[in-house]
Structure 1
Amino acid sequence: MRRLLGALAIAGAMAFMPPAHADDTVKIALVHGLSGSPLEAYSKQTTNGFNLGLEYATKGTMTVKGHKIEVIEKDTQFKPDVARALLAEAYGDDDALIAVGGTSSGVTTAMLPIAEENQKILLVEPAVADSLTGPNSNRYVFKTSRNSSMDMEAQAAALKPDKDLYVATLAQDYAFGKDGVAAFKKALEGTGAHVVDEEYVPQNTTDFTATIQRLFDALKDKPGRRVIVIYVAGIDALTPLAAADPGRYDIKISTGGNILPAMKAYKQVPGMEGAIYYYYGIPKNPINDWLVKEHEKRFGSPPDFFTAGGMAAALAIVKAIETSPDLKTDSLIKTMEGMSWDTPKGPMTFRKEDHQALQEMYHFKIKVDPKVAWAIPELVDVIKPDQMKIPVGRNNQE
């Protein structure tokens, strides 16, 4: 009888126990630069977008499958050694399930092996370089941000390249700039277009005088269409270049989209064409409608370039947790490989081979409206993923 009562007591207690891990907190670490660089604005936008994305995906509960979501934020100060240490701390001491970061492609490169050492997922957002999902990456790295090839495939399409196009490029001397120019040259292969000069400047350059002269010298005597393509982040190369009057040599400027404060400078080049990752007025879907409305209500301004990226990252994580059979890293990886989900830009899909998120880009033409503080990138064409030749960075199945 005592044994029977004991068994009944244990069974009764178990009946009132919650399912295993049902109320465990899932920690997500945002490991990116919040100080020490002009790029910190990108990180802050990512944070806002990420938190809004969690709110949207969980209908305000911040709970997924019974798991409370806790966001931990760490400042890498844009230093590779600091980033590596903080990512290891997030995985270890903080027991983060997934980390998101970083902002600079160079700093993020240093973080890749830490994910592999800890056998936990690093979701790259908003760093762009192709190499982040390249041969030196690993199976634990996923990437919601667009990559350099997407930027430049779209940029090349916007220029309508042919044998009469002559281009000189201006980029920063680190992973973002070098990968971008390499991707641009790859995108032009087979079109007949010519790249006649590549100029690389230090990451925080302010004096472009000598660089601009070399660009002009390389292009001014060419027989066809002459274009300088700018591919920089966190600095304004457009203003000094426009001030140098490339029009006197019949040279045009082209560059990709940027955050809204930076696009104030684009008012100097009405009619300029290029390619953009996101502008709040372009995508037409319920998620973007919600993001624009909520962001304007809470922050008094439209969502920006990297706000959309942060939201896309959060939506991907929630979809993965909802869909995965459990929260083991291997299960999450298998769930995320080939996974499609909706974002403010429309659908994205993690390519199984290298975990790069395939997504739309937008061909734009600059319109100047004196009532708007920044130049408006009006949509010319939507460039679908299957219209871009995005090389596979590495094969995670090998």
Structure 2
Amino acid sequence: MSGSATSRRALLAGWVVTAVAVAAAGCGSPQEAANGDDDASAPLNVGVVYSQSGPLASYGQQYVEGFKAGLAYATGGTGKIGERAVNVSYADDAGDPVKAVAAAKDLIGKGYKVLAGSTASGVALQVAPLAASNKVLFVSGPAATDAITGVNRYTFRSGRQSYQDVQTAKAYLGSGRKVLVLAPDSAFGRSNVDAVTAVIGGAGASVTSIAVPATATDFTPFAGQVKAARPDLVFVAWAGATASALWQSLDQQGVLSSTTVVTGLDIRAAWPVFGKAGAKLHLLAHYFDGAVDNDAVRALRQAVPGGRTDLFHPDGFAAAQMIVHALQAGGSDVEKMVTALEGYGFDSVKGRLTVRAQDHALLQPMFQAKLTGSGAATSATVVATVAPDDAAPPVAAMKG
């Protein structure tokens, strides 16, 4: 879950590829032969290791739906680059870094040179060094930890990072100076604490945090701690099935009525869990259906079940676009793939995305939003859009 004047000026998330016959955008001609010097007839294998099951399975499902749609979009519905088929193998990590590493090692052992996925931050942080040590391309997915940016030259990301979330939230602080971060005791949570400290603390605010065990189900004690701290702004970073209980506790303890509470907008199915809290929240959004309208969005809607896009569909869609571009440039030559992605700009579901060459951060627009209605009728609207440069994290030193 991810500045004031800046944001306001900008006005402000198998093997079979389903073919969606739409024009490719931002990836070059899908019929161009790859520039690699390997067998021109051999398939190009891509391994996707993600949360098919586990606590973030709903996120993983959206990611994969987006990936399949993006692959069809980027290849003009052929599933090929030139005459070479793009074969995708999917593996479930269940949100467990140990399982993710085992699956990634298995794919690498089979000769796969391109990996994607990583729904969870803790998973991405374990797969990234594996990619570097084996010199394979890794495009991380919804994992938001800032530590992925600049972790090594073989690792990229197709989603946003925590710093971009916090930049989007910064405008809500106003003249306040006391900020509290409520987040899980995990890589994701720590990434948010670090980002708030860097972005908002760096602007002069005092930042403290409360780390909640990721397995917690009773949030009353933590809500009480928040209320007692009397912050000017509470930044809540939370994801998963226990979100409803968290918001209920914060509302019951009077936190939402006593201070400004900012959080990220989760997947659509989770909106009703805000309950009465929804209208009281100041929301930052990676993406939601209706936030933008362009060719990529329309293609994605045609491909996903029910025709309604959601939070992490863009991450999968962009990953496929990036991988197709890399394969077009490199074939099976990973070094050429990496070079092709550095500085790559393309039009995707969220709008214009750019891979920053120095550290592989993915520069992208972000959104401020509000919720109206209740239950199944809850809807989101854009309050403002933060331009990619205004949400951009500082350049990170490439570690390897």
State yes or no: 1:258 paired with 2:266.
yes
- Pairwise mapping of residues 155-166 of structure 1 onto structure 2 (< 5 A)? 155-157=169-171, 159-162=172-175, 164-166=176-178
Deviation at 1:285, TM superposition (A): 1.1
Q: Report the Cα distance in structure 1 between the residues aligned to 2:335 and 2:388, rounded to whole angstroms.
A: 27
Shift of 1:290: 2.1
Tell me, in whole angstroms, the C-alpha distance in 1 between the residues paired with 2:78 and 2:122.
36
> Are 1:337 and 2:342 matched, yes or no?
yes
Are 2:312 and 1:306 equivalent residues in the alignment? yes
Q: TM-score, normalised by structure 1?
A: 0.85
Whichever residue aligns with residue 367 of structure 2, its letter is Y
Residue 20 to residue 108, structure 1, CA distance change in 2 (3 Å):
closer
1:328 alignment partner in structure 2: 333
What's the CA shift for 1:240? 2.2
Equivalent in 164, 167, 179 of residue 167 of structure 1: 179
- Candidates 272, 277, 282, aligned match of 2:281: 272
Tell me by how many angstroms 1:142 deviates: 0.8
- 8 Å CA contact 1:267, 1:375 repeated in 2: no
1:20, distance to aligned residue in structure 2 (A): 6.4
Q: Which moved more, 1:260-269 or 1:52-61?
A: 260-269
The CA deviation at 1:325 is 5.1
Letter of the 1:132 partner, please give it: I
Whose RCO is larger (CA < 8 A, sep 6+)? 2
- Residues 230, 238 of structure 1: 8 Å contact kept: no
1:208 aligns to 2:226 (yes or no): no
Q: Which runs of 4+ in 1 moved over 4 A?
A: none
Q: Is the contact between residue 70 and residue 318 of structure 2 (CA under 8 Å) also seen in structure 1?
A: yes
Please state whether the residue corresponding to 1:280 is helix, strand or coil: coil
Secondary structure of 2:291's match?
coil
Question: Is 1:151 the equivalent of 2:159?
Answer: no
Q: Look up the match of 1:7.
A: none
Distance 2:227 2:377 in 1: 27
The answer to whether the 8 A contact 1:267-1:374 is kept is no
> In structure 2, what is the Cα distance between the partners aligned to 1:138 and 1:290?
33
Instruction: Point out where structure 2 has 5 or more consecutive residues left out of the alignment.
Output: 1-36
User: Please, which of 145, 149, 156 is the counterpart of residue 142 of structure 1?
Assistant: 156
CA RMSD of aligned residues (A): 2.0
Query: Deviation of residue 387 (structure 1)?
Result: 1.1
Residue deviations 1:110-161 (CA, integer Å, cap 9, x gap): 1122111211011100111001124xx211111111111001111112x143
Q: Which amino acid aligns with 2:389?
A: D
Q: Percent identity?
A: 29
| Structure label with greater radius of gyration | 1
Unpaired segments of 5 or more residues in structure 1? 1-18
What do residues 348-383 of structure 1 show as CA deviations (whole Å, max 9, x unaligned)? Answer: 111111112111100112222x5x716323111110
1:28–1:69 CA contact under 8 A, matched in 2: yes
CA contact (8 A) 2:51 2:95 kept: yes
Pair 380,247 (structure 1): closer, same or farther in 2 beyond 3 Å: closer
Paired residue total? 360
1:54 paired with 2:92, answer no
The 1:83/1:247 distance shift into structure 2, 3 A limit, reads: closer
- Residue 315 of structure 1 contacts residue 342 of structure 1 at CA under 8 Å; is this kept in 2? no
- Within 5 A, what are the aligned runs for 1:364-379? 364-368=369-373, 370=374, 373=376, 375-379=378-382
Q: Return the offset for 1:261.
A: 1.3
**Where does residue 96 of structure 1 map in the other structure?**
112
Point out the more displaced range, 261-270 or 343-352: 261-270
2:127 is aligned to 111
- Per-residue CA deviations over 1:60-117 (Å, capped at 9, x if unaligned) read 2101122101110111122222211211111122x22310021111122111221112
TM-score, with length taken from structure 2: 0.85
Distance in 2 (CA, whole Å) between partners of 1:20 and 1:29 is 19
Contact 1:119/1:140 (<8 A) preserved: yes
Cα distance between partner residues in 2 of 1:345 and 1:199: 32
